[in-house]
Amino acid sequence: MGSLHVRTPKNFVLEERLECYGSAIETSPESYIGHWREACAPAGSKPFARLHLDLGCGKGTYLAERAKIEPDTLFIGADQEPICIAYAAQRVVEAGIANAVLVPRKAGSLARIFATGELDAITLNFPTPCPKARHAKQRLVYVDALASFRPLLATGGTVTLRTDSKPLRDYALGQFEAAGYRALWISDDVRAEHPEHPMTEYEQRTRDMGAYVYGICATPGAAPSKTQLEAGRAQEQSLACYLPQDLESLNYVPLGMEEAVENFKNRMRKGKNRFPQV
C-alpha cells in the first residue's frame, strides 16, 4: 500500500500482536475457498450477501470503515506484510467488527483462496506504483495481474484502483483495456466524486502534501485476445513517461518519483532532451 514505510511504536512485538488479535486473522484461507460467505457468518446468521477483497489492505483503515457501513458484505483484507496484518486485525477486533477478516497473503495466492466468480469487488487502495519499467510486472495493475483477477469476479464484479499517482492511473487505463475490462468511471478526484470510499491514513498524509486521489472502477468485459494482452505488455512501462510535459506545474510529485522528476528538470534546465535516449 503506497510507498511509505509502516511505522511501529516502541516496544512493538509483532508475535504478541498477531496472537492478541488472532481472532480476526485467518492463517489457512485456502480452506475457505468457495464458501467464505457461509463460513464467516456469525452463528445463527444468514450468509453474507457480498464478498469484497481489499488487496493490499495496509493498516486496515479502509477495510474497517467500509465494513462498518456495509454489514451485509464480508470484507477480506489481504496483505503480504505481517505488521500491516497485525495493525489491521487490531483495528477490526477493537472496533468489534464482525464482517471483516485478515489474510496474510500476496496477490499471487488469490486463485488458491477464492473460487471462480466468488468475489463481488476488489479494491486496490494506493498500491505500490513501482515506477521503473523493470519493476512493472510487480504492479497490481499490470495487465497479467488484472487478467488473473477476472475469473474470480462474479458477474458485474468490479476492480477499483485509487492512487495518489496520476502517472500510475494513466498507465493503468491502458492495462485495464488490454485485460478486457470496461471502465465504469474514471476520476481525477475520487475524494470529491466518490466519497463513499473511506479515507485511509496514507491518503490523509498525501493530501496534506497536496495530492489528489485518482481512480478507475472497471468491470470485466469480453475475454481479452492474445493480441490485446500483448499490447498491454508492450505498452510503455516506465511511469516517468506519464509525467506531464510541464514539470513545473506539478503541485505534488508522486512518492517514489521524486528523483526522476528532479533529474528531468535538471536536464531541461541545461537544454538537454528530457529522456537521454531521445
Q: What is the mean pLDDT of the chain?
A: 92
Residue 236 C-alpha cell reads as 510503455
pLDDT band at 8 (very low <50, low <70, confident <90, very high): low
For the stretch 112-137, pLDDT in tens is: 999 999 999 999 999 999 999 999 99
Q: What is the pLDDT of residue 3?
A: 40
For the stretch 224-274, pLDDT in tens is: 999 999 999 999 999 999 998 888 888 899 888 888 888 888 877 777 776
Q: What is the pLDDT of residue 276?
A: 55
Q: What is the pLDDT of residue 27?
A: 93
Determine the average pLDDT of the residues in 140-166.
Answer: 98
Q: What is the pLDDT of residue 270?
A: 77
**Residue 62 class from Cβ within 10 Å (0-12 exposed, 13-18 middle, 19+ buried)?**
buried
Q: What is the pLDDT of residue 2?
A: 42
pLDDT at position 92 over 60:
yes
pTM for this entry: 0.91
Number of C-beta neighbours around residue 83 at 10 A: 18
Q: Give the C-alpha separation, 11 to 246, whole Å.
A: 46
For the stretch 61-73, pLDDT in tens is: 999 999 999 999 9
Pairing outcome for strands 214-220 and 153-163? antiparallel
Residues 6+ apart with CB under 8 A from 57: 1, 63, 77, 78, 79, 84, 88, 102, 125
The answer to whether 169 touches 183, Cβ cutoff 8 Å, is no
Q: Give the C-alpha separation, 155 to 132, whole Å.
A: 34
Determine the average pLDDT of the residues in 160-176.
Answer: 97
Handedness of CA 257, 263, 269, 271 (dihedral sign): negative
pLDDT at position 5 over 50:
no
